[in-house]
Chain A
Amino acid sequence: MLASVGMQEAKKMSSFRDSIKSGMSEYLGELKKKLEGLTEAELYWQASLDTNTIIWLVWHMARVEDNWINGVIAGGDSVWDSGGWTAKTGITSEGNGYSNTLDEVRALPEVAVSDLLAYYDFVRDSAFAVIDGMSDDDVSNEFSRGGRTITLGWILGHVIVEESQHLGQVALIRGIIRGLKG
């Protein structure tokens, strides 16, 4: 039987590193699909007063990957800073959204989701270059964050878990608004 070229991009994996990159490609690809056709009202809709909007989640996801991989792991500037994305998007928040209050979530300025995805694509190109440049031994490198020690390996696993969680939330919010067939 022929393999269908569905979710798998008919790509052969030859290392566990490829599996990690594949998981990352999967959540970003799915995110783009889940955003297709959403109106501004839908992007800024909150399921309750205490929940995040889709647009905030997209911005946060891109910033999270940027900070962890281009910032913490590579030890350089984030793409957000080096690419001048504060000016391009009008989002002046200096952090990545972690522990934002609900007022801050609601106060995210009007921004085109296509701009956030353009930023995310630059983040991703850079992140894959960082991952490709690592050796197996680097996986046990240690970093100090918020008073605890974490390894590079933990960070990579965490990035997929955290980003995919947020993707699942985007999908859920879309489903609440549009129903199963939306």
Chain B
Amino acid sequence: MPSFRDPIKSGLNEYYGKLKESVASLTLEELMWQPSPESNHILWTVWHMARVSDRWANSTVLGNDELWTRNGWAAKLDMPEDRYGRGETPDQVRDFPYVDISLILEYYDAAHASVLAMIDALEQSDLDRDVFAEYRDESLNIGWILGHILAEESQHLGQVSYIRGIQRGFNR
């Protein structure tokens, strides 16, 4: 049965596939290059995107522990369990650890799959339910969160591809 749930999942798969293309073959230097002292670099952005998917799906909507802690990703990447990226200073972005992007993408694969599974499990009647997002100190509607995940992650994808474009040139 077709439904408007389909476009949301299709969009999530589209942005995630494009992200993989946008980071393919980038060197660590390119991944950590900042177009200006206060701009984020690609590696930080991809890590933050993975954290965003994980937190919205597993913590905020489902009320469980994040995969970041539950499955040991913080330890594997040697990063703090509460590090998320929102509101970080340029110093924190610059000092981001030199982690292997394939490890971040492995974590992201799991986080992305958890978003899709969360959406599959939602009933229409869940959509107008509010959940409290502690780190934002606000209650948010699950229906709003679905549109927001797609918009937020895609914005960051656009930044990744643009930063790649500044370094490599048009469509390269």
Q: List residues of A whose CB falls within 8 A of some B CB.
A: 1, 3-4, 6-8, 11-27, 30, 47-48, 50-51, 102, 136-140, 151-158, 160-169, 171-173, 175-176, 179-180
Contacts and interface: CB of A to CB of B under 8 A. Distances in A.
B157 to A, nearest CB: 5
A11 B170 CA distance: 40
Contacts of A160: 7, 11, 147, 150-151, 154
A157 B7 CA distance: 4
Contacts of A50: 165-166, 169-170
Interface in B125-172: 127-128, 130, 132, 136-144, 146-148, 150-159, 161-163, 165-166, 169-170
Q: Which of B36, B38, B144 is the most central at the interface, judged by chain A CB atoms within 10 Å of its CB?
A: B144
Nearest to A7: B148
Contacts of A151: 6
Secondary structure of the B side of the interface?
A: helix
B9 interface: yes
A19 B146 contact: yes
Range for the number of chain B residues in contact with chain A: 35 or more
B150 to A, nearest CB: 5
A31 to B, nearest CB: 10
Secondary structure of the A side of the interface?
A: helix
Given A16-B4, A139-B4, A11 B144 contact: yes
A84 to B, nearest CB: 30
Given A3-B130, A168-B155, A16 B166 contact: no
A14 B143 contact: yes
B162 A172 contact: yes
